[in-house]
A and B are shown apart, each in its own frame.
Chain A
Amino acid sequence: MAEVLNGYEIEKPFQNRDAGFSRWTTGRKNGNRYFLKEFLDPVWPAGTGLREDLRRDAISVCRAYEDKWKRIYASANAFSDGTLVRTEEFFRRDSRYYIATEYVKGVDITIEEIAGLPGDVRRLLLLTAARGIEQLHTAGIVHADIKFSNLILQKTEAGYLRARLIDLGAAFFENEAPAGEDEIGGDQVYMAPETCRFLFGEKVELTCAIDVFAAGLLFHQLYTGRLPGFDRKECDYPHEAVLDGQELQVDPDIPAALAAVIRDMLAGDPAARPAMSRVCTSVRSCIEDLGDRRPRPQNAAPAFRAAEDL
Chain B
Amino acid sequence: MASNYRFTYGVDLVFCIDATGSMGPLLDTVKANALNLYRDLMKIMDRKNKRVEQVRIRIIAFRDYKYDQETAMMVTDFFRLPDEEKAFEASLRSIVPEGGGDDPEDGLEALAYAIRSPWDTSSQRKRHVIVVWSDDGTHRLGFGSDAPNYPRGMAKDFNELTMWWGNASAPGLMDQNAKRLLLFTPDKDDWNLIRNNWNQTIQYVSEAGSGLESCDYEQIINAIANSI
Contacts and interface: CB of A to CB of B under 8 A. Distances in A.
A47 B48 CA distance: 41
B5 A60 contact: no
Contacts of A16: 202, 219, 222-223, 226
Contact of A61 (B6, B168, B180): B168
Interface string B181-209: 00000000000010111111110000000
Contact of A18 (B5, B197, B226): B226
A50 B197 CA distance: 8
Q: Is the interface of A mostly helix, strand, loop or mixed?
A: loop
A181 to B, nearest CB: 8
Contacts of A243: 3-5
Interface residues of A, number: 45
Interface in A48-90: 49-51, 54, 57-58, 60-61, 64-65
Given A15-B219, A42-B168, A199-B7, A50 B162 contact: yes
A189 B48 contact: yes
B1 interface: yes
A196 interface: yes
B197 to A, nearest CB: 5
Given A42-B199, A43-B199, A20 B5 contact: no
Interface in A215-267: 234-237, 239-241, 243-244
Interface string B207-227: 000000000001100110111
Contacts, number: 119
Interface residues of B, number: 41
A47 B196 contact: yes
Contacts of B195: 95
B222 to A, nearest CB: 5
A304 interface: no
Contacts of A188: 7, 9, 50-51, 125
A79 to B, nearest CB: 28
Interface of A: 15-21, 23, 40-43, 45-47, 49-51, 54, 57-58, 60-61, 64-65, 94-95, 182-183, 188-189, 193, 196-197, 199-200, 234-237, 239-241, 243-244
Interface of B: 1-7, 9, 48-51, 124-125, 158-159, 162-163, 167-170, 177-178, 180, 193, 195-202, 218-219, 222-223, 225-227
